[in-house]
Amino acid sequence: MSARLPRRLGAVVLGALLLTASLSPARAAVTTGAGNDTGAGVDAARPPGGAPAVVGSWLTDPARKVYLTQQPNLHWRRGTPPAGTAITVDESRKYQSMEGFGASFTDSSAWLVGTRLDRGRRAAAMQALFGQRDGIGLSFVRQPMGASDFAVNGNYSYDDMPAGQTDPTLAHFSVDHDRAYVIPVLRDALRINPKLTLMASPWSPPGWMKTSDSMVGGTLRPEAYQPLADYFAKFVRAYADAGVPISYVTPNNEPLYVPGGYPGLDLGADKEATFIRDHLGPTLRKTGLPTRILGYDHNWDVVSYPESLYADPSTSRYVAGTAWHCYAGDVRAQSLSHNNYPGKPAFHTECSGGTWEGDDAAGFAGAMTLLVNAPREWAKTVVRWNMALDGDNGPTNGGCLTCRGVLKVTKDADGRWSWSRTVDYYALGHASKFVRPGARRIASSAPAAGSDGAVQNVAFVNPDGSKALIAFNPGKSAATFQVRWGHRWFDATLPAGSAATYTWGGTQDAAAGDAALGTTDVHFTEPGKAPLTVSWDADLLSRLNQVRVDGSWVGYSLPTGASLQAPVESAPLPRTNWTATASASSPDDPPGQAIDGNPATRWSTGHGMTPGDWFQVDLGASRTFDELRLDTSASPGDFARGYEVYVSEDGKTWGEPVARGGGATQLRVLFPPVTGRYVRVVNTGSSGSWWSIHELDVLAPSGSGSGSGSAGDEQPPAANADLLRRTATTPDGTALEVYYNAGDQAATFDVSWAGTTYRYRLPAGASATFTRSD
């Protein structure tokens, strides 16, 4: 877990969040109370095929202490719903398949469930977690490989050595530590739910593999790359032999964050690529086990990291997708990255709730927002953090002191250990109990406006054809809306802060259009391969790089590894007589440090990003230029979340922006040549992170050819059968032109703006989108 979350979300409220509701056994899907209460149990509604008669409904309303409780059935009506707020569901549009919902049996969680609870209460707790009828049917577990910030007896790996000693042959490798209680609880979970999928992530390799000679701090020694790959293979084999198959691994948890008090590893994108390409990938293939590698395993704010793994075909072939965390950035990054590399799926693998959120209602709201929006943005999994914690939010190991588990395990008044459910349990249950492994997300319209908020929603169709719609009302008053499905609809009302899962069966009798759904899908189909979908909505399109050309806005995506090259090379203007100013600055990071030629220094706002923050350069004289570069690589999460670029002759009259779009760690902004003395970059997004710029360059045409093949008498790119092209128009009239490189090598093509032809290079497996709008 990233330690940044509690600091950036505000004050910490001490104490755990514990729900103790009294439910009617006749209508409860799951119940609270003593740890040995397994609940009455209710199956998800699965009406037979044909025209459905009723809609099942399960509600959680923390304000009324109602938790995942079955409500009276709702009834379908035919025709057009009355004017009002509607959520449109269309199962003819299918997206990613779901692998599951769950949490992590950290060492602390497994110890609490596996050793503190007596046999009966442990069995009841496991049934509540993984049972389909009497529980919520969790179907995915992310398992730490060794100690994390939640471990009972401090740091440990599977090959610890005395200080100064090494074990490159792994002669001392053993998973015996986990045989005491970690492996047993995982085997119990698999027995209850045989469809459970497990992934594994180390927080650190053994200390002797690192420059710190410790599990805390440091990076990987060059000579340890292959021993670490062998370490993974031994772990996967040992767990498989113990009856716990591991389907996925990541090279390391949160590779861009190195904590000072618990295990961590500095593993930049280049180092991770080397490890996967030359060591881990080939070694896992030799094992004969079907374990796949997910890249990154960190926050939404550095999209370039996982995409750099895809841009290199020799690395990409070993990487099955991206593992994302929630602690910084925006969940929409998952969709942007999906559209850039549509063949590489997203997995959401960690997001902890905690006392910093506030009361039960606030904690439930945070969990439900994740449960709805992570799948809506292409995630195949949604994983909370600790499966169980005690009354002190532990046992901890130098990390988070305020995290909340899915279960809370505490001593009763008589000294016996018991368990209870937290808000995370009920939030997970709204998905995991009704959305089974292999379900497909289906189209549903963007959040429907309520009286003072918006009803967030996401929809699925299960392998048996049953449907599930999860809806959450984050507003402060009740929201009434309709759900439209073909020519049928039903009315629904959600109290403030509540969530519901609606279930039904049958066959949809009509599809919905782009206008009703708010999205435009572009499909690429190749013989013998699964079809790929790139999906755009108005918000995502606004995050593309856009330039003003001939009175229109022309947008373009630029996946990591792609390039857009002008026919004439641009070179950085000399910084002689430049001065920099900003709307606000940290005392330690003045504006001049963004133009001092030293990438180790920076300018920063000194506060969380706020729309309207600006950074400005006076070039000393009027100049003509066509490119702007902002580099934030040394502070990768601190790029502007959105930007506009303005040019002025006098520093007072700015006019319309010449470019705009979403930010990036290394932002390159191209536009037709403009002339001015002042350049201003305005941040248009919000984030708890400071906005930083380590280096800013303004570039002008140099007069020499770029060698791109798109200027003078050079030839245009040769036709490439692997370069697929599709066009579409969004409901607001925006024209889309989408390319997908289905080959195994980079492809090139020409793009024309205002009479200038640029050469676009698209990596294998990548997609590029171009837009034009008034």
CATH number for the domain that contains residue 533: 2.60.40
Distance CA 391, CA 463 (A): 39
CATH number for the domain that contains residue 74: 2.60.40.1180
Q: Which residue has the higher pLDDT, 524 or 708?
A: 524
DSSP letter assigned to residue 72 = E
Distance CA 557, CA 336 (A): 9
With residue 768 as reference, give the H or E element that holds it.
strand 767-773
In a domain? residue 18? no
In a domain? residue 30? no
Residues 285 and 409 in one domain: yes
**Predicted pLDDT at 448:** 54
* Among 232, 250, 239, residue whose Cα is nearest residue 170: 232
Rounded (5°) CA angle 454-458-460: 160
In a domain? residue 272? yes
With residue 58 as reference, give the H or E element that holds it.
strand 54-61
In a domain? residue 15? no
Tell me the Cα Rg of the chain.
27
Assess whether pLDDT exceeds 80 at residue 10: no
Question: Three-state DSSP class for 627?
Answer: strand
Whether residue 707 contacts residue 644, with contact meaning beta carbons closer than 8 Å, is answered with no
Whether residue 636 contacts residue 689, with contact meaning beta carbons closer than 8 Å, is answered with no
Residues 216 and 331 in one domain: yes
Farthest CA pair distance, the chain: 88
* Among 56, 81, 98, residue whose Cα is nearest residue 500: 56
Residues 246 and 376 in one domain: yes
Assess whether pLDDT exceeds 80 at residue 84: no
How many percent of the chain have pLDDT more than 70? Answer: 91
**Predicted pLDDT at 201:** 98
Residues 371 and 402 in one domain: yes
Angle between helices 333-340 and 304-311 (to 10 degrees): 10
**Predicted pLDDT at 714:** 58
For residue 60 the two structure tokens come to: 């959680």
In a domain? residue 708? no
In a domain? residue 463? yes
Residues 383 and 288 in one domain: yes
Q: Considering 646, 667, 701, which residue would you say is the last residue of a domain?
A: 701
> What would the pLDDT profile of 761-770 be if each residue is shown by its tens digit?
999 999 999 9
In a domain? residue 709? no
Rounded (5°) CA angle 95-555-720: 70
The parent domain of residue 529 ranges over 520-562+717-772
Residues 524 and 511 in one domain: no
DSSP letter assigned to residue 495 = -
Q: Which residue has the higher pLDDT, 14 or 669?
A: 669
Residues 177 and 307 in one domain: yes
Rounded (5°) CA angle 688-691-697: 160
Task: Report residue 109: phi and psi, to 5°.
Answer: -65, -45
Task: Report residue 233: phi and psi, to 5°.
Answer: -60, -40
Residues 466 and 513 in one domain: yes
Distance CA 565, CA 563 (A): 6
For residue 270 the two structure tokens come to: 């280049």
Confidence band for 298, pLDDT divided at 50, 70 and 90:
very high
CB-based contacts of 246, cutoff 8 Å, min separation 6: 143, 198, 199, 200, 235, 236, 239, 240, 289, 291
In this structure, the dihedral spanned by the alpha carbons of residues 601, 606, 612 and 614, taken in order and rounded to 10 degrees, is -30
Q: What is the mean pLDDT of the chain?
A: 91
DSSP letter assigned to residue 113 = I
Q: Considering 437, 464, 486, which residue would you say is the last residue of a domain?
A: 437
Question: Three-state DSSP class for 172?
Answer: coil
CB-based contacts of 616, cutoff 8 Å, min separation 6: 580, 581, 582, 651, 678, 679, 680, 681
The counts of H helices and E strands in the chain are 15, 43
**Predicted pLDDT at 2:** 56
Residues 723 and 589 in one domain: no
Assess whether pLDDT exceeds 50 at residue 41: no
**Predicted pLDDT at 529:** 85
Assess whether pLDDT exceeds 80 at residue 704: no
Residues 260 and 324 in one domain: yes
What distance lies between CA 546 and its chain's CA centroid? 24
**Residue 521, beta-bridge partner list:** 535
> What would the pLDDT profile of 103-160 be if each residue is shown by its tens digit?
999 999 999 999 999 999 999 999 999 999 999 999 999 999 999 999 999 999 999 9
Residues 592 and 677 in one domain: yes
DSSP letter assigned to residue 431 = H
CB-based contacts of 326, cutoff 8 Å, min separation 6: 299, 300, 348, 350, 351, 370, 374
Q: State the pTM of this model.
A: 0.91
> What would the pLDDT profile of 379-429 be if each residue is shown by its tens digit?
999 999 999 999 999 999 999 999 999 999 999 888 999 999 999 999 999
Whether residue 591 contacts residue 618, with contact meaning beta carbons closer than 8 Å, is answered with no
Residues 155 and 84 in one domain: no
Q: Considering 701, 727, 745, which residue would you say is the last residue of a domain?
A: 701
State which amino acid sits at residue 599: P
> What would the pLDDT profile of 589-632 be if each residue is shown by its tens digit?
999 999 999 999 999 999 999 999 999 999 999 999 999 999 99
**Predicted pLDDT at 285:** 94
**Predicted pLDDT at 702:** 84
> What would the pLDDT profile of 550-597 be if each residue is shown by its tens digit?
889 999 999 999 999 988 889 999 999 999 999 999 999 999 999 999
In a domain? residue 45? no
Question: What is the count of structural domains for the chain?
Answer: 4
Provide the 10 A C-beta neighbour count for residue 322.
30
CATH number for the domain that contains residue 125: 3.20.20.80
Question: Three-state DSSP class for 330?
Answer: coil
CB-based contacts of 740, cutoff 8 Å, min separation 6: 342, 524, 532, 534, 723, 724, 726, 766, 767
* Among 246, 127, 250, 135, residue whose Cα is nearest residue 197: 246
Assess whether pLDDT exceeds 60 at residue 700: yes
State which amino acid sits at residue 720: N
Assess whether pLDDT exceeds 80 at residue 519: yes
Q: Work out whether strand 614-631 and strand 666-683 pair parallel, antiparallel, or are unpaired.
A: antiparallel
